[in-house]
Amino acid sequence: METNSNICGRIFGAALLISVATALASTAFGYGNEGHQTVGAVADKLIANSPNTVAHVRALIGNETLEHASTWADDCKYHFNPHDPDMVAFVSANPHVQHDSGPHDHHAYHYTDIPIQETHYRADSVGAKPIDVVHMVRNCIAIIEGHSNATNNPTGITQKTALRLLVHYVGDIHQPLHVGAAYFGPNAQLVNPNTTTGAQADVGGNVITFHATKLHTYWDTPAVQNAMAAAHVHTPGAFARTIIRNPPPGWETSSFISGWAVKWANEVLPIAAEAHNKLTFQVNPNGWSAQTSNLAAYDQWAAAQVRTEIARAGYRLAAILKKIWP
Ligand SMILES: [Zn+2]
């Protein structure tokens, strides 16, 4: 589990800026460390019987496991290490700007904010960006494959960094609130900004108070911990072992790996919608608050979703690496 005191950059809409500033004491991680590490640990185990895959992974990141590599992208945000030349190079070329608004802002690489009413990811939707997580999963795959060019890699991300980023972003794209976002009308009603003017963004659930935290944070960390508790495990490695003993249904993805990120976003969007539709919302001084009449049922449902999505992410990460280096 991880806590963080940085002010989140993920906020847009001038009207919201002041009112939500204090709401952002904790911020977006994608899955907390345990979720990302579990994704990496599952993939570590699944590639272990593919010597060519392992050899190429080792050639890029040495003895670093995928489990360990899984949190490097968040370290770039929250635990910047000036003695890590790869981190210095990546953050310098992809600098964070307030509101995640830079053209190559690495904070914006972790998510997209597709309205939950949409059934499919669309690059022209409100909330989508050319540098969002859907694009970045695809770009990292291309870079690792050696197909880097000015369009998919304008900032010169290395193959080593692209692998570390991919491990993380494959986890993020399986966190429902990293793909689907809520937008509100004036009475806290859920609206689709693609069809409604004046909608206000929930910033991926970072300005929705829920369960003594933010709705986004709930899905990053407590929901993962609930899933681990339900599996009677305490570490990502142990969680990965239980997942491999009982693989997730429907993890296989058809066709070319360059199209997988869009398919995964489409798959997780309905979960993001349900994550909001199970709640009721009210305006509060910091944005909005969410309630459920049955928190235990919500906890149980969310933990089950998280377990399946983390498991799929681990299997899919391994599948990408095995496809690149069969
Ligand atoms: Zn992330």
CATH number at residue 123: 1.10.575.10
- Taking the chain (326 residues) in consecutive chunks of 10 residues, what is each chunk's mean pLDDT? 33 34 39 94 98 98 98 97 98 96 97 97 97 98 97 98 98 98 95 96 89 94 96 97 96 96 98 98 94 97 98 98 98
Question: Domain for residue 3, yes or no?
Answer: no
Residue 2 lies in a domain: no
Cα-to-centroid distance, 27 and ligand 1 (Å): 11
Count of beta carbons in the 10 Å neighbourhood of residue 92: 9
Distance 73 CA to ligand 1 centre (A): 7
Distance 62 CA to ligand 1 centre (A): 23
Residue 125 lies in a domain: yes
C-alpha 179/C-alpha 127 separation (Å) is 9
Residue 31 lies in a domain: yes
| Centre of ligand 1 from the C-alpha of residue 187, in Å | 31
Helices (H) and strands (E) in the chain, counts: 13, 8
- Is 220 within the bounds of a domain? yes
The domain in which residue 144 lies consists of 14-324
Give 64 Cα–ligand 1 centroid separation in angstroms.
19
Half-sphere CA count of 204, side-chain side, radius 13 A = 35
What's the 178 CA to ligand 1 centre distance in angstroms? 8
Q: 68: part of which helix (H) or strand (E)? A: helix 66-69
pLDDT of residue 286: 85
Q: Do strands 208-210 and 213-214 pair parallel, antiparallel, or not at all (unpaired)?
A: antiparallel
For 319, residues 6+ apart whose C-beta sits below 8 A from its C-beta are 251, 252, 253, 257
Q: Report how far residue 222's alpha carbon sits from residue 220's, in angstroms, rounded to the nearest whole number.
A: 7
> 219: closest CA among 204, 236, 235, 234?
204
62-69 CB contacts, 8 Å cutoff, 24+ apart: 65/40, 65/41, 66/40, 66/41, 66/167, 66/317, 67/37, 67/38, 67/40, 67/41, 67/236, 67/237, 67/240, 68/37, 68/40, 69/40, 69/163, 69/164, 69/167, 69/168
How far apart CA 283 and CA 296 sit, in angstroms, is: 24
pTM (2 d.p.): 0.91
Distance 268 CA to ligand 1 centre (A): 16
What is the identity of the amino acid at 149? N
Phi, then psi, of 181 in degrees rounded to 5: -130, 150
| Amino acid making up residue 123 | A
Q: How far is the CA of 30 from the centre of ligand 1 (A)?
A: 4
Residues 6+ apart with CB under 8 A from 162: 139, 140, 143, 144
Report whether 40 contacts 314 (CB < 8 A): yes
Q: Is residue 309 part of a domain?
A: yes
pLDDT score, position 30: 61
Question: Domain for residue 240, yes or no?
Answer: yes
Phi-psi region of 170 (alpha: psi -120 to 50; beta: other; left: phi over 0): alpha
Cα-to-centroid distance, 55 and ligand 1 (Å) = 26
How many angstroms separate the alpha carbon of residue 220 from the centre of ligand 1? Answer: 9
Determine contact, residues 115/194, Cβ cutoff 8 Å.
yes
> How far, in Å, is the centroid of ligand 1 from the Cα of 136?
11
Number of domains in the chain: 1
- 29 falls within a domain: yes
In this predicted structure, what is the pLDDT of residue 230? Answer: 97
Compute, in angstroms, the gap from residue 36 CA to the centroid of ligand 1. 9
* Span from the CA of 293 to the centroid of ligand 1 (angstroms): 30
Q: Measure the CA dihedral 140/145/151/157, to 10°.
A: 50
Give the whole-angstrom CA distance, residue 291 versus residue 169. Answer: 29
> In this structure, are residues 149 and 139 in contact, taking their beta carbons and an 8 Å threshold?
no
